[in-house]
């Protein structure tokens, strides 16, 4: 009965209390809490979270937060997820010197100026203001110069909105993008889709097969990788089907109407 009562309280706790933090982490001392996940609990008041001064990773996504003042004392915080809240003022995060990874997707940040207070965070490498997977964004992302302005503001940034902007990862991303555009360009001639019936895959099907092993860890890894490949193939088949239907529909729309005489 007590467990059910605790779950009901967690479901809509509104304010963070010492009781809530201790029940969620099992820690008696708030200063001992290093990792904390308080996702989707209806929280709009951060309460005593500032007493968790040794906190390193914090997930507050999917709540109703507007005021971040209580986070100013978290000087060791390196990973912070604030996605899907109602945040517009980031000023309190200026004091979070150790912050490296910050997720702000799905809030109400309206301008580039709102991000100026984060420029003092020298360790900040990863910022997310939009997330296409969950359809989260911010009004500032509609600005045509948004991406270039953010990269100029944070020259040490390595990842923006899930895409690497420096290092080998960014080079690979750009290469894949260029290849994709080249392939798309080759599919059309004079604005018309060109059929390539003799196209062959780059590698044989057996290329992706992994040699089996008696090692239990490798065996489990093999199984999980195989499952991922299977899902990728299913997604690829669905994508091909949708593209085919779309092209057929567009082709029908372009055909001139015929009238009986």
The model's pLDDT over 9-61, given as tens digits with 9 standing for 90+, comes to 444 579 999 999 999 999 999 999 999 999 999 999 999 999 999 999 999 99
| Consecutive H or E run containing 31 | none
Q: Phi/psi class of residue 154: alpha, beta or left (left: φ > 0; alpha: ψ in -120 to 50)?
A: beta
Residue span of the structural domain in which 75 resides: 2-168
The confidence score (pLDDT) of residue 56 equals: 95
Output the six-digit token pair for 10.
């967690």
Same domain? 221 vs 164? no
Mean pLDDT estimate for the chain: 82
Q: Count of domains in the chain? A: 2
Which strands sit side by side in the sheet containing 57-59, from one edge to the other? 35-37, 57-59, 79-81, 101-103, 126-128, 159-160, 163-164
**Do 157 and 30 have their domain in common?**
yes
pLDDT of residue 243: 85
Cβ(83)–Cβ(131) below 8 Å:
yes
231, two tokens: 């899902």
Residue 243 CA to residue 248 CA, distance in Å, equals: 9
Residue 77 lies in a domain: yes
Largest CA distance in the chain: 88
User: Do residues 211 and 161 both lie within one domain?
Assistant: no
Pairing of strands 126-128, 159-160: parallel
Are residues 17 and 122 both part of a single domain?
Answer: yes
Are 69 and 51 in contact by the 8 Å Cβ rule? The answer is: no
In the prediction, which pLDDT does 210 show? 55
In a domain, 173, yes or no: no
Pair 219, 153 in one domain: no
Task: Tell me: do 141 and 237 sit in the same domain.
Answer: no
- The verdict on 115 and 227 lying in the same domain is no
Query: Which is higher by pLDDT, 218 or 250?
Result: 250
Do residues 23 and 114 share a domain?
yes
Residue 88 and residue 153 in one domain: yes
Cβ-in-10-Å burial (0-12, 13-18, 19+) of 198 comes to exposed
pTM value surpassing 0.75: no
């Amino acid at each position: 009965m007590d467990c059910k009562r605790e779950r009901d309280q967690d479901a809509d706790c509104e304010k963070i209390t010492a009781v809530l933090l201790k029940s969620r982490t099992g820690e008696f001392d708030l200063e001992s809490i290093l990792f904390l996940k308080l996702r989707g609990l209806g929280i709009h008041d951060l309460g005593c979270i500032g007493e968790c001064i040794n906190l390193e990773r914090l997930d507050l996504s999917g709540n109703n937060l507007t005021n971040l003042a209580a986070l100013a004392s978290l000087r060791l915080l390196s990973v912070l997820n604030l996605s899907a809240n109602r945040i517009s003022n980031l000023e309190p995060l200026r004091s979070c010197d150790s912050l490296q990874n910050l997720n702000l997707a799905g809030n109400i940040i309206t301008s580039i100026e709102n991000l100026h207070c984060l420029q003092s965070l020298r360790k900040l490498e990863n910022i997310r203001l939009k997330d296409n997977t969950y359809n989260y964004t911010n009004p500032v992302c509609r600005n045509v110069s948004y991406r270039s302005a953010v990269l100029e503001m944070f020259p040490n940034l390595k990842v923006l909105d899930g895409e690497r902007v420096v290092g080998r990862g960014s080079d690979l991303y750009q290469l894949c993008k260029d290849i994709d555009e080249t392939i798309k360009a080759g599919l059309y001639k004079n604005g018309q889709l060109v059929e390539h019936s003799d196209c062959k895959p780059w590698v044989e099907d057996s290329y992706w097969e992994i040699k089996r092993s008696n090692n239990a860890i490798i065996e489990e890894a093999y199984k999980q990788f195989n499952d991922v490949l299977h899902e990728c193939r299913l997604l690829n088949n669905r994508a091909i089907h949708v593209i085919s239907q779309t092209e057929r529909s567009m082709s029908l729309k372009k055909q001139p109407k015929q009238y009986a005489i």
